[in-house]
Amino acid sequence: MRATPTGRVIGLVTVIVAAVLGSAYTLGQSMVAEPSPQATGLSATPNEPHYADQPPEATPGRPGGPTPGAGSHAAEPSTSGQDGGVGQPAETESPDGLFGARATTGSAEVALTFDDGPDPRYTPQVLELLRQYGVKATFCVVGENARNHPDLIQAIVADGHTLCNHSWQHDVLLGKRSPDVIRDDLLRTNAAIRDAAPTAPIVYFRQPGGAWTYPVVSAAEDLGMTPLHWTVDPSDWSVPGAAKIADFVLNGVQPGSVVLLHDAGGNRQGTVDALYLILPDLTARLRLEALPTGTT
């Protein structure tokens, strides 16, 4: 059958309309934003730098995380993904996310804590500044560093500071290992500390990365050590500069705070320099003391 002129016109219009509608649909689809991938943080492995001590998104007092005193941090290693910068334990955590680890001093006093040392470049500078301001602090030391620098462990003890076990080699995944491995790690670290300072009490344990699990908390408590977390974390391990470290600490500290700083694990000059700003301010308005050891 031969098409009439009218039929040809209708057919042509139909084709044009279909083409226009198809183009509009394609354009509309291209304008729909793709869902952005969710941030996951850094992975945690035993080979992470010693300064990767915090969960990337959930540590109390960490930039980008809950504000100091605002509440608990979520599961990490995640840390929270973490390991601290940072993967997280898979076990279901307690409501506060810390498996019972202590996060405040429990008094009006503020505790400055220094992790990952001792280090011959930075620990002596930290000790000198603390001495100048009459401040006692708590040093969470890594076992292999204690073994390699027994003189610095002795200097810490001689100045009246408190010692804390921070695992043998800063194993962020220590809490995921078997109970025997965890216990051996803590005992090996304590032995290295006591080789340098035989009579120094070691009554605290800090899990690297804050990656707490029930097994590591239980092991620490069975060995007579209190699991120690923190309240204020300026992420000095990320080397943000002295001014930012000091500003975060000074704005976040309140009575009872436990401040997380580092005297080893990388370039810690920024932390040392921040103490020139932190110490005169805090000592003027708060009491800074080492965490108690139960001895006099």
Catalytic residue among 53, 83, 115, 119: 115
Region of 42 (left: φ > 0; alpha: ψ -120 to 50; beta: rest) is beta
CA distances from 238 to 51, 246, 253, 259, 260 (A): 8, 14, 20, 16, 13
Phi and psi angles of residue 130, each rounded to the nearest 5 degrees, phi first: -60, -40
Collapsing DSSP to helix, strand or coil, 228 comes out as strand
96 counts as catalytic: no
Please give the pLDDT value at position 294.
81
Q: Is the pTM of this model over 0.85?
A: no
166 counts as catalytic: no
Output b/e per residue, 278-288; b: 16+ Cβ within 10 A.
bbeebeeebeb
Catalytic residue among 119, 170, 262, 263: 262
11, 228 in Cβ contact below 8 A? no
Domains detected in the chain? 111-285 (3.20.20.370)
Per-residue pLDDT tens, the chain, 296 aa: give them.
454 555 554 555 454 444 444 444 444 433 333 333 222 222 233 333 343 444 333 333 333 333 333 333 322 322 222 233 322 333 333 444 589 999 999 999 999 999 999 999 999 999 999 999 999 999 999 999 999 999 999 999 999 999 999 999 999 999 999 999 999 999 999 999 999 999 999 999 999 999 999 999 999 999 999 999 999 999 999 999 999 999 999 999 999 999 999 999 999 999 999 999 999 999 999 999 999 998 64
Which distant-in-sequence residues (6+ apart) come within 8 Å of 69 by Cβ? 60, 231, 254
